[in-house]
Structure 1
Amino acid sequence: MSARLVIYPPDENGWRRVRYDGVAIGVAHKPSDILVFLSAAGMEDPGELDLTDPELVEWRGPGPESWAESPP
């Protein structure tokens, strides 16, 4: 079974595309953006999600520690 949440590699500005259940839900600049997108997509209690759990989240490219230093 594949992860329901997929985080793509950072683009040239450090932004990462986010997909949930096969649907693009946003472009994140930091981990908290992902939680906001998941809440808007209808996930209950996204704050309880462990973004480091490989059964729940597929990180493409660098993992959850890789973000831009500051917003563009």
Structure 2
Amino acid sequence: MAPVIVVHRPSSSGGRRVTVDDAILGLARTDRDLIEFLRRAGLENAEELVLGDSPLIDWRGGHAHEYEAA
């Protein structure tokens, strides 16, 4: 089964909380951060998932790849 990857809405101070299967991985401020968090979580194809705009990533409360609050 595919992991549930959620990139939550941007925080007021910038950055987005990242969770995989409800486990908090950290606060991503860039796609590079997101890729590293997913790699550490064991997803070998992390860069492809992020940069390829995979439907497995649920970008909530903002546009994909934007990390600053509106």
SS at match of 2:26: strand
* Cα distance in 2 between the residues matched to 1:53 and 1:45: 11
TM-score of the pair, normalised by structure 2:
0.78
TM-score of the pair, normalised by structure 1:
0.76
By percentage of residues, which structure has more strand? 2
Decide whether the 8 Å contact of 1:31 with 1:64 is kept in 2.
no
Aligned length: 66
Fraction of identical pairs, as percent: 35
* Cα distance in 1 between the residues matched to 2:39 and 2:7: 16
SS at match of 2:10: coil
Give the corresponding residue for 1:58: 58
Question: Judging changes above 3 Å, is the alpha-carbon distance between structure 1 residues 65 and 25 closer, same or farther for their aligned structure 2 residues?
Answer: closer
Cα shift at 1:44: 1.2
**Structure 2 residues without counterparts, runs of 5 or longer:** none
Give the corresponding residue for 2:28: 28
Q: What RMSD, in angstroms, separates the aligned Cα atoms of the two structures?
A: 2.0
Q: Which has the larger radius of gyration?
A: 1
